[in-house]
Amino acid sequence: MALSLQQKITDPRQGVYLIGTTPPKATTPADKTARIAQKLLSRLNEIEYDGLIVYDIQDESSRVTVERPFPFHSTLDPREYSCLLQQLSQQEIITYKSVAQRDADAFGQWLTQTAQTYKLQNLVLVGSPSSNGEIKLSLPLAYQQLAEHPAQFYLGGVAIAERHAKKGNEHLRLIDKSAQGCEFFISQAVYNAQATIDLLTSYARSCKQQGLRPKRIILTFTPCGGEQTLTFMQWLGISVPEGSQYRILDAENPLNESIKICRDNLQQILQHCAKLEIPLGLNVESLTNRREEIDASIRLFRLLKAMMELHLAEKEVA
């Protein structure tokens, strides 16, 4: 029996390697949804990964005034798609849930249904995308409700290096979230290596001061095929340094160039954070459904996983 996702997340000698995906549009008929899932899984045949992440896409137009580069479509319930992927792949699934839109009663029912109907255990709760929108349930209250729920969930949170760069306190939020039950964190897509290094370094330092064992932080990476995806990444709040923007836009093969940027960024992070004792992981996602970007995300996954495995394996014989 291979190690379970929880065992891997808990064991600092292990790497954790995930693939992120979004559910199909809400209007997709069931047979087409199954075909989409099967197609995704058959593309993932050639790589070895520990589980899938299914995002909960919300209309975040309250967050920014700039127009969304790709139009927003509401999606199928992420739990439905998670459940399908779990059945088809026998892989473990981590399901995102945006909690602000509905009240505590509705969230309680959602939790029960998630465990009983959808048989899902691994959740990442996400708060409101902005403080402007109406918040029917706060993240701390949702965490509390989940902790008190009779079903056993395995909980993760999000880690936003960009927020750390602005406010300087994301590392304390991670410690807070751990106290509220988070066992791991998943970052936003990394294009700004320094912001990630700063967050990881501050987090490790505060954990040490407080005598805490750092939780695993899973770093998200995504290929970028050109201007439209780049604009979308920036719309999502991903910080892309100017140099990297031009490196992608001016390249003969922008997708492969973005993969090389991700490689360079991960290399920098591994070097700077080698001594920090934070267990890291990887999550690779494709921000669009374009065939080339999905293929590129598979190349990216393989490259970054090999780098991280090499880093971990070298540590063991040092």
Instruction: Candidates 63, 68, 290, 299: give the one binding a second copy (CB under 8 A).
Output: 299
**Is residue 310 at the binding interface for a second copy, with CB under 8 A as the rule?**
yes
Asked whether position 252 contacts a second copy by CB under 8 A, the answer is no
Residue among 45, 65, 131, 152 that touches a second copy (CB under 8 A): 45
Q: Does 247 bind a second copy (CB under 8 A)?
A: no
Please select the residue that binds a second copy; options are 9, 13, 189, 254, rule is CB under 8 A. 13
Q: Computed over its alpha carbons, how large is the radius of gyration of the chain?
A: 19
Least separation, in Å, of the C-beta of 32 and a second copy? 21
Cβ closest to a second copy, residue 68 vs residue 260: 260
Rounded-to-integer distance, Cα 163 and Cα 308, Å: 25
Pairing of strands 184-189, 154-159: parallel
* Minimum distance, C-beta of residue 230 to a second copy, in the bound complex (Å): 18
Q: Which residue has the tokens 């070298």?
A: 314
User: Does 306 engage in binding with a second copy (CB under 8 A)?
Assistant: yes
Cα separation, 81 vs 93, in Å, equals: 10
d(CA 311, CA 26): 41
Of the ranges 78-86, 167-175, 235-243, 297-305, which one interacts with a second copy (CB under 8 A)? 297-305
Residue tagged 């005598």 (tokens): 211
Q: Which of 10, 14, 180, 201 binds a second copy (CB under 8 A)?
A: 14
Beta carbon nearer to a second copy, 245 or 256: 256
Of 73-81, 241-249, 281-289, 296-304, the segment contacting a second copy by CB under 8 A is 296-304
Number of residues that bind a second copy (CB under 8 A): 26
Tell me if 103 sits within 8 A of 84, measured CB to CB. no
- With binding defined as CB under 8 A, does residue 264 bind a second copy? no
CB of residue 8 to a second copy, shortest distance in Å: 9
Q: Judged by CB, which is closer to a second copy: 141, or 303?
A: 303
Contact flags string 46-65 toward a second copy, x per CB under 8 A: x-x-----------------
Query: Which CB sits closer to a second copy, 46 or 67?
Result: 46
**In the complex, least distance from residue 305 CB atom to a second copy, rounded to whole angstroms:** 7
Q: Which residues bind a second copy (CB under 8 A)?
A: 1-3, 11, 13-14, 45-46, 48, 256, 259-260, 263, 299, 302-303, 305-307, 309-310, 312-314, 316-317
